Amino acid sequence: MALIASVAVDAATFAIDKLYDYAVPAALEAGTKPGVRVKAPFSKGNRQVEGFVFAVRQGDADGLKELRSVEDGEPLVSKDFLELAKWMKSRFFCTLYEAVRAMLPSGVWNLSGDRTTELARLVSAPEEALEQAEKKAKRAPQQAELLRLLVQLGEASSKELVYFTGASRQSLKGLERQGLIELVKIPAYRRPDYSDASSRAMEELTEEQARAFEGLAALMDGTARAALLRGVTGSGKTAVYIRLIARAIEQGGRAIALVPEIALTPQLVATFRLHFGDAVAVLHSSLTQAERLDEWRRIRDGLVNVVVGTRSAVFAPVEGLKLLIIDEEQELTYKSEMTPRYHARDVAKFLCARSGALLLLGSATPSVETNYLAETGRYPLFRLEKRYNEMTLPEVVIVDMRAELKAGNGGSVSGRLREELEKNIARGEQSILFINRRGTNNLVSCPECGFMHSCPNCSARLVYHGANGRLMCHYCGYSRPAERTCPECGGRMKFFGTGTQKVEDELEELFPGVPMLRMDADSVSAANSHDEILSEFSKKKIPILVGTQMVTKGLNFDDVTLVGVLSADQMLYSGDWRAQERTFSLVTQAVGRSGRAQKAGRAVIQTFTPDNEVIRCAAAQDYDAFYRSEIKLRELSGTPPFAEQYAVFASGEDEDAVVACCREIKAAFLSSLGDNSAARVLGPVPAAVVRVQGRFRYRVYVDTAPDPAVRGLIAGAIRKYSKDKRFRGVALFGDVDPID
């Protein structure tokens, strides 16, 4: 009998993914445990690949290849997370290795060794140490000084002791040899700094907040549950979160709080640190690799009670999870668009079910699916109907941009919005303007011949960016200088459409000399630049902040009394069945940034369709009216929550091969589903941008009730057609409730 390890290897595609058995050499037996990385030979050529051990057992190892090395001293992944990986494979159509890799910070692979610092500690009692210091005062003054300082501090880093006393390293080592002190190595963690982020301590809960807190706290009884906290913008959901986290810690548990945008992290972390001290960790993609790795290590080592972060923080290795909060749970940023294409909400449900924790979904505009579960009694629903400070919701004006055009105003800023901005500037108050498109002009065309610049790699038009004077592709990053004359006919190129940069340019013309900031994917690129922009806006009282959806959620500034929503209806006509929900949520959240303190707020919504029901509901902050209308449409169209949508995506350089593969997959689905009248198969459907980086993209959709058999059908199709020689060069992957 020998030790056998079952390993998920990185070289296995989804079509051949499974656990592969390897014999464990005697020299590696002690270190081969579930959750460690190993190196092993794979395939006929025995090339060395990496893998994760999922299980070990005793058995007959005849004919098995042997592991070559164990890469970790201790497991990186717990047994619960290995079970999560198996579930993710079946749910999100990924390999086991891909699932595990998504759980770990990239620094595990890219950074070598754990950083440590050396501590000096007294071994003897303080009185004895002082006595020794007196004896050494003349013949070894440096050692005497070291002992006196350690008596005061108890322990300190060796580096600081040497620095503050002027003693040499040799003197410190001499005390160790004499048995007066001990030198020990402890982990040294690189930490992100949020000390400058604006924050405030939570005041006493209102009666409404207290009711929600007591009801939710009663659900933290060790039984896995999910609940929805629905509160109008500014109602103080964060205060309820903090009280619940404190209760979870009192009960010996820990908590995770997820936010949809990196920009929201600094304020929330700073607020949490006010209440929970240094036992707060933060995880998001703008941290350096070293910071992210060390925050992960702090969590794994049990030094953290609260984890705050974006989507991937759901995988934080928290022991004793008691509460998992997903703030603004409706946001699509919680859905990964890279393999594995998981939704943080689904992963959270699995983790809470395993640990008996409470999953709290919070929002002013919850997803239709989540609100449906609450309305039908699956989730307890707690509502906050009033703003925390008893301030009224912002006064909202809807501006018809058609009338602006008739009046000769073809700019991005309406006359009414300009008047309101002038008032705010005069009063020293701040304004936020939201437009969900970056760049300067989204279309550059020749009016003479109709020529438009397109990306050579993608079937997408190039967008003009005035900041660098270039035309850019937002899909692959291709760029070229902007030409003023048409390369086809020599005519003058015209610039159409509006993005954040153009709005900024217009505002600079309207209000010369008035400071303003822009916050979008172009201005936010370096680590912590979210923090820098928001900190500057807050501390310097910058009059105007222009941004994309980064500025619509979670931000809380006392002096923001005006919000302008530009091109409110541009998202309504994207062709996505979520378009109305997305528009309602963004407009509602944007309007909610105004008037959150003692000053009354106003909002101006600019639209070409002022009578649109979605925009009217958003202006009134009337979620109930929007939900009643939207749920009827969902039921009629057979979209979530009344069905689950699956998709098989195909991409390749040969468009004909991609389409042919999709047609075969569709035919196979239709044949297998047979008389299932509840299922619909649609496609092949081209992606919104059909060609990206030289590859054509099509998909086949299956709409049906949640059914493991359908997931098995999709997984089987991916395995079968990925190995079909007719479709060599066509890449396939599956998704559930895809965004695009």
Give the tens place of pLDDT for each residue, 662-712.
Answer: 999 999 999 998 877 678 999 899 998 899 999 999 999 999 887 888 899
pLDDT for position 112: 67
487 Cβ contact partners less than 8 Å away, ≥ 6 residues apart: 451
**Could you give the angle at the alpha carbon of 527 between the alpha carbons of 525 and 528, nearest 5°?**
105
- Before 340, cis peptide (omega within 30)? yes
- For residue 142, the one-letter residue type is Q
Nearest Cα residue to 420 out of 444, 446, 443, 394: 394
- Write down the pTM of the prediction: 0.85
> What CATH number should be reported for the domain whose range is 207-384?
3.40.50.300
Quick one: average pLDDT of 206-231? 96
pLDDT for position 138: 87
Give the tens place of pLDDT for each residue, 107-156.
Answer: 888 776 667 778 889 988 888 889 899 988 888 999 999 998 898 888 88
So what's the architecture of 644-736 in CATH?
A: 2-Layer Sandwich (3.30)
What percent of the chain is predicted at pLDDT more than 70? Answer: 96
- Pair 559, 599: CB distance under 8 Å: yes
| CA atoms of 474 and 546, how far apart (whole Å) | 19
247 Cβ contact partners less than 8 Å away, ≥ 6 residues apart: 217, 220
pLDDT for position 526: 47
144 Cβ contact partners less than 8 Å away, ≥ 6 residues apart: 133, 134, 136, 137
pLDDT for position 201: 62
The yes-or-no answer to whether 207-384 and 395-442+497-634 have a common fold is yes
| CA atoms of 519 and 447, how far apart (whole Å) | 32
Nearest Cα residue to 328 out of 249, 263, 271, 273: 263
441 pLDDT more than 80: no
So what's the architecture of 395-442+497-634 in CATH?
A: 3-Layer(aba) Sandwich (3.40)
Each domain of the chain, given as residue ranges in start order, spans 2-104, 116-187, 207-384, 395-442+497-634, 644-736
Q: How many C-beta neighbours within 10 Å does residue 117 have?
A: 14
b/e 574-613 (16+ beta carbons within 10 angstroms → b): eeeebebbbbbbbbbbbbbbbbbbeeebbbbbbbebbebe
Rg (CA), the chain: 30
Report which DSSP code applies to 492: B
- Pair 442, 500: CB distance under 8 Å: no
Q: How high is the mean pLDDT of the chain?
A: 90
Helices (H), 447-546: 500-510, 529-539
Q: How many CA atoms lie within 13 A of 605 on its CB side?
A: 31
Three-state SS string over 388-401 comes to CCCCCCCEEEEEEH
CA distances (Å), 332 to each of 556, 582, 737, in order? 21, 9, 11
204 Cβ contact partners less than 8 Å away, ≥ 6 residues apart: none
More confident residue, 5 or 198: 5
443 pLDDT more than 90: no
197 pLDDT more than 60: no
- Pair 259, 555: CB distance under 8 Å: no
Nearest Cα residue to 583 out of 332, 400, 338: 332
Nearest Cα residue to 240 out of 206, 270, 266, 267: 206
Quick one: average pLDDT of 416-432? 96
Domain 2-104: CATH class, spelled out = alpha beta
Nearest Cα residue to 99 out of 415, 428, 336, 446: 336
Report which DSSP code applies to 205: P
pLDDT band at 198 (very low <50, low <70, confident <90, very high): low
Nearest Cα residue to 399 out of 611, 617, 613, 618: 611
pLDDT band at 202 (very low <50, low <70, confident <90, very high): low
Give the tens place of pLDDT for each residue, 64-118.
Answer: 999 999 999 999 999 999 999 999 999 999 999 999 999 999 888 877 666 777 8
277 Cβ contact partners less than 8 Å away, ≥ 6 residues apart: none
